[in-house]
Protein backbone atom coordinates (compact mmCIF):
# COMPACT_ATOMS: atom_id res chain seq x y z
CA UNK A 1 0.00 0.00 0.00
CA UNK A 2 1.39 3.38 -1.04
CA UNK A 3 2.02 6.08 1.55
CA UNK A 4 0.63 9.38 0.29
CA UNK A 5 0.00 12.96 1.36
CA UNK A 6 -3.09 14.82 0.23
CA UNK A 7 -3.32 18.57 -0.35
CA UNK A 8 -6.70 20.14 -1.11
CA UNK A 9 -9.27 22.55 0.23
CA UNK A 10 -12.79 22.80 -1.34
CA UNK A 11 -15.69 20.43 -1.81
CA UNK A 12 -14.36 19.42 -5.23
CA UNK A 13 -11.33 17.78 -3.58
CA UNK A 14 -13.39 15.38 -1.46
CA UNK A 15 -13.99 12.56 -3.99
CA UNK A 16 -10.25 12.14 -4.50
CA UNK A 17 -9.54 12.27 -0.76
CA UNK A 18 -12.12 9.55 -0.13
CA UNK A 19 -10.71 7.35 -2.90
CA UNK A 20 -7.18 7.72 -1.56
CA UNK A 21 -8.27 6.92 1.99
CA UNK A 22 -9.92 3.72 0.74
CA UNK A 23 -6.94 2.44 -1.25
CA UNK A 24 -3.80 3.99 0.27
CA UNK A 25 -2.15 4.99 3.53
CA UNK A 26 -2.89 8.71 3.76
CA UNK A 27 -0.14 9.91 6.09
CA UNK A 28 -1.24 13.55 6.24
CA UNK A 29 -3.97 15.81 4.88
CA UNK A 30 -2.85 19.38 4.24
CA UNK A 31 -5.46 22.08 3.74
CA UNK A 32 -5.96 25.83 4.07
CA UNK A 33 -6.56 27.49 7.47
CA UNK A 34 -10.08 28.14 8.72
CA UNK A 35 -11.61 31.30 7.23
CA UNK A 36 -14.32 33.76 8.22
CA UNK A 37 -17.57 32.95 6.49
CA UNK A 38 -21.19 34.07 6.40
CA UNK A 39 -22.87 37.17 7.76
CA UNK A 40 -21.60 36.57 11.27
CA UNK A 41 -18.03 36.12 9.98
CA UNK A 42 -17.58 33.04 12.17
CA UNK A 43 -14.46 30.96 11.55
CA UNK A 44 -15.30 28.04 9.26
CA UNK A 45 -13.08 25.03 8.45
CA UNK A 46 -12.60 24.06 4.78
CA UNK A 47 -14.45 20.97 3.53
CA UNK A 48 -11.23 18.95 3.31
CA UNK A 49 -10.52 19.50 7.01
CA UNK A 50 -13.98 18.30 7.96
CA UNK A 51 -13.69 15.22 5.75
CA UNK A 52 -10.17 14.43 6.94
CA UNK A 53 -11.38 14.55 10.54
CA UNK A 54 -14.35 12.34 9.66
CA UNK A 55 -12.03 9.78 8.07
CA UNK A 56 -9.73 9.82 11.11
CA UNK A 57 -6.77 11.19 9.18
CA UNK A 58 -4.14 13.61 10.54
CA UNK A 59 -4.98 17.10 9.25
CA UNK A 60 -2.55 20.03 9.13
CA UNK A 61 -3.43 23.62 8.15
CA UNK A 62 -0.22 25.50 7.30
CA UNK A 63 -0.52 29.28 7.31
CA UNK A 64 2.35 29.82 4.85
CA UNK A 65 4.00 28.05 1.94
CA UNK A 66 7.11 27.45 4.03
CA UNK A 67 5.10 25.46 6.55
CA UNK A 68 3.89 23.07 3.83
CA UNK A 69 7.35 21.54 3.50
CA UNK A 70 7.54 21.11 7.27
CA UNK A 71 4.15 19.38 7.33
CA UNK A 72 5.23 16.97 4.59
CA UNK A 73 8.53 16.15 6.26
CA UNK A 74 6.81 15.59 9.60
CA UNK A 75 4.64 12.90 7.99
CA UNK A 76 7.67 10.66 7.41
CA UNK A 77 8.53 8.82 4.21
CA UNK A 78 6.03 9.57 1.43
CA UNK A 79 5.73 7.81 -1.91
CA UNK A 80 3.78 10.64 -3.54
CA UNK A 81 1.61 13.66 -2.75
CA UNK A 82 -1.75 14.22 -4.46
CA UNK A 83 -2.98 17.79 -4.96
CA UNK A 84 -6.56 18.83 -5.79
CA UNK A 85 -7.44 22.54 -5.66
CA UNK A 86 -5.20 23.26 -2.69
CA UNK A 87 -5.22 26.97 -3.47
CA UNK A 88 -1.58 27.81 -2.88
CA UNK A 89 1.47 27.70 -5.17
CA UNK A 90 3.93 25.14 -3.84
CA UNK A 91 7.66 25.81 -3.64
CA UNK A 92 10.26 23.53 -5.24
CA UNK A 93 11.57 22.36 -1.85
CA UNK A 94 8.08 21.13 -0.93
CA UNK A 95 7.59 19.44 -4.32
CA UNK A 96 10.77 17.44 -3.72
CA UNK A 97 9.76 15.93 -0.37
CA UNK A 98 7.73 12.90 -1.62
CA UNK A 99 9.85 10.28 -3.38
CA UNK A 100 7.81 10.50 -6.63
CA UNK A 101 7.00 14.20 -6.29
CA UNK A 102 3.48 15.60 -6.42
CA UNK A 103 0.69 14.87 -8.89
CA UNK A 104 -2.13 17.35 -9.44
CA UNK A 105 -5.72 16.85 -10.59
CA UNK A 106 -6.72 19.80 -12.79
CA UNK A 107 -10.25 20.41 -14.07
CA UNK A 108 -9.46 21.07 -17.74
CA UNK A 109 -7.69 19.49 -20.69
CA UNK A 110 -4.27 21.08 -20.36
CA UNK A 111 -2.77 23.24 -21.76
CA UNK A 112 -6.19 24.84 -22.29
CA UNK A 113 -7.28 26.71 -19.18
CA UNK A 114 -4.15 26.62 -17.09
CA UNK A 115 -4.73 28.59 -13.92
CA UNK A 116 -7.19 29.41 -11.18
CA UNK A 117 -10.67 29.14 -12.74
CA UNK A 118 -10.67 26.46 -15.47
CA UNK A 119 -14.32 25.37 -15.11
CA UNK A 120 -15.74 28.89 -15.04
CA UNK A 121 -13.60 29.97 -17.99
CA UNK A 122 -14.57 26.97 -20.10
CA UNK A 123 -18.27 27.68 -19.58
CA UNK A 124 -17.94 31.44 -20.06
CA UNK A 125 -16.11 30.80 -23.33
CA UNK A 126 -18.87 28.48 -24.54
CA UNK A 127 -16.55 25.47 -24.85
CA UNK A 128 -18.45 22.33 -25.96
CA UNK A 129 -15.94 20.04 -24.24
CA UNK A 130 -13.56 19.99 -21.27
CA UNK A 131 -12.11 17.29 -19.03
CA UNK A 132 -9.62 16.44 -16.31
CA UNK A 133 -5.85 16.17 -16.43
CA UNK A 134 -3.46 14.54 -13.98
CA UNK A 135 0.05 15.92 -14.19
CA UNK A 136 3.24 16.06 -12.14
CA UNK A 137 3.73 19.43 -10.51
CA UNK A 138 6.76 21.51 -11.36
CA UNK A 139 7.70 25.13 -10.66
CA UNK A 140 5.40 26.55 -13.37
CA UNK A 141 1.69 27.27 -13.34
CA UNK A 142 0.07 23.97 -14.41
CA UNK A 143 2.99 23.31 -16.76
CA UNK A 144 4.17 19.90 -15.57
CA UNK A 145 4.24 16.68 -17.62
CA UNK A 146 0.95 14.83 -18.04
CA UNK A 147 0.25 11.36 -16.66
CA UNK A 148 -3.26 10.96 -18.08
CA UNK A 149 -6.35 12.92 -19.09
CA UNK A 150 -9.99 12.31 -19.99
CA UNK A 151 -12.37 14.51 -21.98
CA UNK A 152 -16.09 15.07 -21.37
CA UNK A 153 -18.79 16.90 -23.28
CA UNK A 154 -20.34 19.91 -21.55
CA UNK A 155 -24.14 19.77 -21.23
CA UNK A 156 -26.04 22.71 -22.71
CA UNK A 157 -27.38 24.09 -19.41
CA UNK A 158 -24.64 22.83 -17.08
CA UNK A 159 -23.43 25.34 -14.47
CA UNK A 160 -19.97 25.62 -12.95
CA UNK A 161 -21.22 23.87 -9.82
CA UNK A 162 -22.72 20.99 -11.79
CA UNK A 163 -19.69 20.56 -14.02
CA UNK A 164 -17.20 20.81 -11.15
CA UNK A 165 -19.01 18.02 -9.29
CA UNK A 166 -18.96 15.83 -12.38
CA UNK A 167 -15.27 16.47 -13.03
CA UNK A 168 -14.39 15.90 -9.38
CA UNK A 169 -15.95 12.43 -9.46
CA UNK A 170 -14.30 11.59 -12.78
CA UNK A 171 -10.94 12.88 -11.58
CA UNK A 172 -11.08 10.79 -8.42
CA UNK A 173 -11.56 7.62 -10.48
CA UNK A 174 -8.77 8.61 -12.85
CA UNK A 175 -6.38 9.38 -9.98
CA UNK A 176 -7.09 6.06 -8.28
CA UNK A 177 -6.18 4.24 -11.47
CA UNK A 178 -3.11 6.36 -12.24
CA UNK A 179 -1.17 6.23 -8.97
CA UNK A 180 -0.17 2.51 -8.94
CA UNK A 181 1.31 2.45 -12.48
CA UNK A 182 2.91 5.85 -11.92
CA UNK A 183 4.71 4.65 -8.78
CA UNK A 184 5.66 1.36 -10.48
CA UNK A 185 7.20 3.19 -13.41
CA UNK A 186 4.64 1.96 -15.93
CA UNK A 187 3.05 5.39 -16.48
CA UNK A 188 5.59 7.85 -17.80
CA UNK A 189 4.65 11.54 -17.66
CA UNK A 190 4.63 13.22 -21.08
CA UNK A 191 5.80 16.86 -21.41
CA UNK A 192 3.03 19.35 -22.09
CA UNK A 193 2.85 21.27 -25.34
CA UNK A 194 1.99 24.96 -25.32
CA UNK A 195 -0.13 24.53 -28.45
CA UNK A 196 -3.68 25.66 -27.65
CA UNK A 197 -2.56 27.28 -24.41
CA UNK A 198 -5.17 29.51 -22.73
CA UNK A 199 -4.97 30.88 -19.19
CA UNK A 200 -7.90 30.64 -16.77
CA UNK A 201 -7.34 33.77 -14.71
CA UNK A 202 -9.31 34.28 -11.52
CA UNK A 203 -12.75 35.89 -11.79
CA UNK A 204 -12.62 39.65 -11.29
CA UNK A 205 -15.56 41.50 -9.66
CA UNK A 206 -16.44 43.40 -12.83
CA UNK A 207 -16.85 40.13 -14.73
CA UNK A 208 -19.80 39.20 -12.54
CA UNK A 209 -21.99 41.95 -14.01
CA UNK A 210 -24.46 40.82 -16.68
CA UNK A 211 -24.26 43.18 -19.63
CA UNK A 212 -27.70 44.27 -20.80
CA UNK A 213 -26.02 45.52 -23.98
CA UNK A 214 -24.32 42.18 -24.54
CA UNK A 215 -25.05 39.08 -26.59
CA UNK A 216 -27.59 36.83 -24.91
CA UNK A 217 -25.52 33.70 -25.65
CA UNK A 218 -22.46 35.26 -24.03
CA UNK A 219 -24.44 36.43 -21.02
CA UNK A 220 -26.09 33.05 -20.47
CA UNK A 221 -22.60 31.51 -20.61
CA UNK A 222 -21.44 34.08 -18.05
CA UNK A 223 -24.30 33.08 -15.74
CA UNK A 224 -23.50 29.37 -16.14
CA UNK A 225 -19.80 29.94 -15.49
CA UNK A 226 -20.39 31.90 -12.28
CA UNK A 227 -23.13 29.72 -10.73
CA UNK A 228 -23.55 29.08 -7.88
CA UNK A 229 -20.57 31.14 -6.73
CA UNK A 230 -19.71 33.97 -6.94
CA UNK A 231 -22.86 34.45 -9.03
CA UNK A 232 -23.60 36.79 -11.94
CA UNK A 233 -25.34 39.99 -10.92
CA UNK A 234 -28.19 41.92 -12.52
CA UNK A 235 -29.96 45.01 -11.23
CA UNK A 236 -33.71 44.40 -11.43
CA UNK A 237 -36.00 47.31 -10.58
CA UNK A 238 -33.14 48.99 -8.73
CA UNK A 239 -32.11 45.95 -6.63
CA UNK A 240 -29.06 43.79 -7.29
CA UNK A 241 -29.99 40.14 -7.81
CA UNK A 242 -27.79 37.16 -8.54
CA UNK A 243 -28.89 35.14 -11.54
CA UNK A 244 -27.96 31.49 -10.95
CA UNK A 245 -29.56 29.89 -14.01
CA UNK A 246 -30.81 31.26 -17.31
CA UNK A 247 -31.63 30.13 -20.83
CA UNK A 248 -32.46 31.65 -24.19
CA UNK A 249 -36.15 32.51 -24.67
CA UNK A 250 -38.34 33.24 -27.67
CA UNK A 251 -39.82 36.40 -26.11
CA UNK A 252 -38.07 39.62 -27.07
CA UNK A 253 -38.48 42.31 -24.40
CA UNK A 254 -37.05 45.74 -25.07
CA UNK A 255 -33.33 45.79 -24.14
CA UNK A 256 -32.98 46.97 -20.56
CA UNK A 257 -36.47 45.73 -19.59
CA UNK A 258 -37.90 42.51 -18.14
CA UNK A 259 -41.38 41.12 -18.66
CA UNK A 260 -43.54 38.19 -17.64
CA UNK A 261 -44.08 35.78 -20.52
CA UNK A 262 -45.96 32.52 -20.08
CA UNK A 263 -45.46 32.60 -16.31
CA UNK A 264 -41.70 33.19 -16.34
CA UNK A 265 -39.55 36.35 -16.20
CA UNK A 266 -37.67 37.19 -19.39
CA UNK A 267 -34.90 39.81 -19.56
CA UNK A 268 -34.34 41.82 -22.72
CA UNK A 269 -30.71 41.97 -23.87
CA UNK A 270 -29.25 43.52 -27.00
CA UNK A 271 -30.16 40.64 -29.32
CA UNK A 272 -33.13 38.94 -27.66
CA UNK A 273 -34.69 37.48 -24.55
CA UNK A 274 -33.18 35.47 -21.69
CA UNK A 275 -35.37 33.57 -19.25
CA UNK A 276 -34.33 34.08 -15.63
CA UNK A 277 -34.69 30.49 -14.41
CA UNK A 278 -33.22 30.80 -10.90
CA UNK A 279 -32.67 34.02 -8.97
CA UNK A 280 -31.14 35.01 -5.65
CA UNK A 281 -32.85 38.25 -4.57
CA UNK A 282 -31.12 40.43 -1.96
CA UNK A 283 -31.51 39.03 1.55
CA UNK A 284 -33.38 35.92 0.40
CA UNK A 285 -32.76 32.33 -0.64
CA UNK A 286 -32.44 31.16 -4.24
CA UNK A 287 -35.83 30.78 -5.93
CA UNK A 288 -37.29 29.89 -9.30
CA UNK A 289 -38.23 32.64 -11.69
CA UNK A 290 -41.87 31.64 -11.29
CA UNK A 291 -41.68 32.03 -7.50
CA UNK A 292 -39.93 35.37 -7.89
CA UNK A 293 -42.72 36.58 -10.18
CA UNK A 294 -45.39 35.65 -7.66
CA UNK A 295 -43.80 38.04 -5.21
CA UNK A 296 -43.89 41.01 -7.62
CA UNK A 297 -46.64 43.57 -7.96
CA UNK A 298 -45.94 44.07 -11.65
CA UNK A 299 -45.36 41.94 -14.73
CA UNK A 300 -42.61 44.05 -16.24
CA UNK A 301 -39.81 46.39 -15.15
CA UNK A 302 -36.25 47.54 -15.71
CA UNK A 303 -32.87 45.80 -15.68
CA UNK A 304 -29.37 47.24 -15.72
Q: Which domains does the chain have, with CATH numbers?
A: 3-200 (3.40.50.170), 205-302 (3.10.25.10)
Query: Could you report the per-residue pLDDT of 200-214, keeping only the tens digit for each?
Result: 999 999 999 999 999
d(C-alpha 302, C-alpha 279), whole Å: 16
Confidence band of 40 (pLDDT split at 50, 70, 90): low
Q: Is 283 exposed, middle or buried (0-12, 13-18, 19+ CB in 10 A)?
A: exposed
* DSSP at 160: H
pLDDT for 184 equals 96
* DSSP at 125: T
Query: Could you report the per-residue pLDDT of 138-169, keeping only the tens digit for each?
Result: 999 999 999 999 999 999 999 999 999 999 99
Q: Is the pLDDT of residue 189 over 90?
A: yes
Ramachandran region, residue 75 (left: φ > 0; alpha: ψ -120 to 50; beta: rest): alpha
pLDDT for 233 equals 98
Amino acid sequence: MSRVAFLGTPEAALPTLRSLAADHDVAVVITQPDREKGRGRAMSPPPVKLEGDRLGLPVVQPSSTGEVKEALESAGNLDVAVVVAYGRILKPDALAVPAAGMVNLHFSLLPRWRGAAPVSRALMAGDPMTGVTIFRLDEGLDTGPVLTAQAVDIDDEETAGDLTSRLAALGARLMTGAIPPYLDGGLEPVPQSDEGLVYASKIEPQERVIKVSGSRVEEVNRIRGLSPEPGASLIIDGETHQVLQARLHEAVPEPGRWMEFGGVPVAGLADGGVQLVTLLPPGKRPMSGESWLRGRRRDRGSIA
